[in-house]
């Protein structure tokens, strides 16, 4: 049996395994007043949040920030390129 613990290693009674809530936030707005271009490139910053769903503060919520580079050539997207990544425990 697996039990959930706090960041300091103390057992949590709530649930038999870790219960985290995940959310992500990112947005990109592109307008082309002169028509669709043959080539388009843009960076997309994304913030991801992973928070333990517990009755008490556990001190081990995480935030990850990534920056992706998106390219479109003749309307065909290429694979996003990861430009940077940072992770912090909050």
Measured distance CA(59)–CA(52) in Å, rounded: 9
Taking only the tens of pLDDT, the chain with its 90 residues reads 445 666 676 766 655 555 677 788 888 888 888 888 899 898 888 888 877 776 766 667 788 888 989 898 888 888 888 888 888 776
42 token code pair: 């843009």
Q: What is the DSSP string of 34-90?
A: T---SEEEEEEEEEEEEEE--SS--S--EEEEEEEEEEEETTEEPPPEEEEEEEEE-
Residue with tokens 């390219």: 71
What does the pLDDT read at residue 1? 43
Q: Is the pTM of the predicted complex or chain greater than 0.75?
A: no
Could you tell me the sign of the dihedral formed by the alpha carbons of 45, 81, 89, 1, in that order? positive
What does the pLDDT read at residue 2? 46
Q: Any idea where the domains of the chain sit in the sequence?
A: 20-89
């Amino acid at each position: 049996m697996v039990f959930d613990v706090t960041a300091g290693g103390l057992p949590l009674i709530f649930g038999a395994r870790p219960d985290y809530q995940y959310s992500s936030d990112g947005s990109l707005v592109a307008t082309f007043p002169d028509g669709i271009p043959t080539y388009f490139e843009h960076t997309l910053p994304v913030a991801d949040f992973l928070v333990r769903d517990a009755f008490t503060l556990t001190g081990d919520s995480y935030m990850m920030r990534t920056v992706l580079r998106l390219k479109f050539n003749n309307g065909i997207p290429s694979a996003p390129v990861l430009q940077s990544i940072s992770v912090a425990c909050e």
